């Protein structure tokens, strides 16, 4: 099983914690064949997945968007999530969604640091469970 973690590094501390949660699950499940690819932000995640869709059995999309004063947050979040869903359905490949969308840094930090509720870990569990279903 080959897994690709695609992580947006716009908020490096949040991203680091999400990747840590994801990798911990992969190690726990004894999955050693994975690669981490970084992108500048979440908007670039679908492109990277699309470019690598045939090389991996599943993907984990990780990153964070924090709402600002403009509608930019809404456009970026919606288009990224829609593109990821489209890629997953069209290519019949599981893509675990660990992209945090929040109102402030405190919420983002909380959702990435928790050991039991780490969004990177949750996205990885979701993708792996879909891979097991499709066998």
Interval 121-131: pLDDT, tens = 999 999 999 99
- Pick the most confident of 19-33, 63-77, 109-123: 19-33
Candidates 51, 72, 78, 117; catalytic one: 72
Q: What are the backbone dihedrals phi and psi of residue 42, each rounded to the nearest 5 degrees, phi first?
A: -70, -30
User: What is the rounded distance in angstroms from the CA atom of residue 122 to the CA atom of residue 116?
Assistant: 9
Active site includes 86? no
User: What is the rounded distance in angstroms from the CA atom of residue 77 to the CA atom of residue 22?
Assistant: 21
Q: Is the pTM for the entire model greater than 0.75? A: yes
Q: To the nearest whole number, what is the mean pLDDT of the chain?
A: 93
Interval 69-114: pLDDT, tens = 888 889 999 999 999 999 999 999 999 999 999 988 888 888 787 6
Number of helical (H) and strand (E) elements in the chain, helices listed first:
5, 4
Of 110, 114, 57, 48, the residue nearest 83 (C-alpha): 48
Q: What is the pLDDT of residue 114?
A: 67
Q: What is the pLDDT of residue 39?
A: 98
Where is pLDDT greater, at 110 or 6?
6
User: What is the rounded distance in angstroms from the CA atom of residue 129 to the CA atom of residue 65?
Assistant: 26
Q: What is the pLDDT of residue 129?
A: 95
Percent of the chain surpassing pLDDT 70: 96
Q: What is the pLDDT of residue 24?
A: 94
Fold for 3-130, please state it: Rossmann fold (3.40.50)
Residues 112 and 63 sit within 8 Å (Cβ to Cβ)? no
């Amino acid at each position: 099983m080959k897994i690709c973690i695609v992580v947006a590094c716009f908020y490096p501390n949040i991203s680091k914690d999400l990747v840590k949660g994801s990798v911990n699950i992969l190690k726990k499940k004894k999955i050693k064949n994975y690669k981490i690819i970084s992108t500048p932000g979440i908007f670039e995640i679908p492109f990277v997945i699309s470019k690598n869709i045939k090389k991996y059995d599943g993907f984990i999309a990780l990153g964070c968007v924090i709402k600002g004063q403009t509608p930019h947050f809404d456009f970026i979040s919606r288009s990224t999530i829609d593109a990821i869903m489209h890629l997953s359905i069209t290519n019949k490949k599981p893509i675990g969604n660990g992209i945090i969308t929040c109102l402030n840094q405190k919420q983002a930090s909380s959702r990435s640091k928790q050991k039991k509720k780490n969004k990177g870990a949750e996205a990885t569990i979701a993708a792996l469970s879909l891979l097991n279903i499709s066998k």
